[in-house]
Amino acid sequence: MPQILALYGSPRREGNTATLLKRAVQGARDAGASVEEVFLRDLKMSPCLEIYACKNAGRCAIKDDFQKVRDRILEVDGLMLASPVFFYTVSAHTKILMDRCQSMWVKKYWVDEEKIRKVALPRKGLFIAVGATRGKKLFDGILLTVKYFFDVMDMEMWKSLLYRGLDFEGDVLKHPDYLDQAYETGKAYALKVMSA
């Protein structure tokens, strides 16, 4: 059975992105995938300290909850990530995880001396984002950030679900079409992961 990791990046446990990701998780489970859910807000995770101890061991030297998330990220067949737009990028909880994954970049390119090359990335990621405003460029920053986060994990963005104009907790519940889309996308994503 394919294993998918679902990372909840919002500080709100029942917020808009969490509600959407829960629907996607349900869709993936209904399609036959095993999904593990992790709420980043519940983890004890230091920001990257930029000491580059990862240059020696090939993994981050800070002993906290990052270590087990890192192991799961490397083991799973697929990753779902949801984050609100905070100042045109991901939430702080999500960014802390991303910065700690710099240790994976270091392992790849400095420790293992892989060459940067264009290859088809076998693992696919699903990304969900929500912002309060409606500007054309609302998701430009966050999409770039997430694309390169997935890239470090040898993962390619399979699809992103992006929703504007949602601010207060519960706003997304006024849009059953968004919730249905998240459910159907989760299902389709699991089928994609299973067929890989």
Ligand X SMILES: Cc1cc2nc3c(=O)[nH]c(=O)nc-3n(C[C@H](O)[C@H](O)[C@H](O)COP(=O)(O)O)c2cc1C
Per-residue mark of binding to ligand X, 106-145 (x: CB under 6 A) = ------------------------xxxx----x-------
| Identified binder of ligand X from the candidate list 169, 181, 188, 194, rule CB under 6 A | 169
Asked if 42 interacts with ligand X (CB under 6 A), we say no
Asked if 37 interacts with ligand X (CB under 6 A), we say no
Asked if 41 interacts with ligand X (CB under 6 A), we say no
- Stretch near ligand X under the rule CB under 6 A, chosen from 22-30, 78-86, 107-115, 145-153: 78-86
| Phi, psi (rounded to 5 degrees) for 14 | -115, 30
- Stretch near ligand X under the rule CB under 6 A, chosen from 10-18, 33-41, 58-66, 106-114: 10-18
Asked if 17 interacts with ligand X (CB under 6 A), we say yes
Binding site for ligand X (CB under 6 A): 10, 12, 15-18, 84-88, 130-133, 138, 166-167, 169
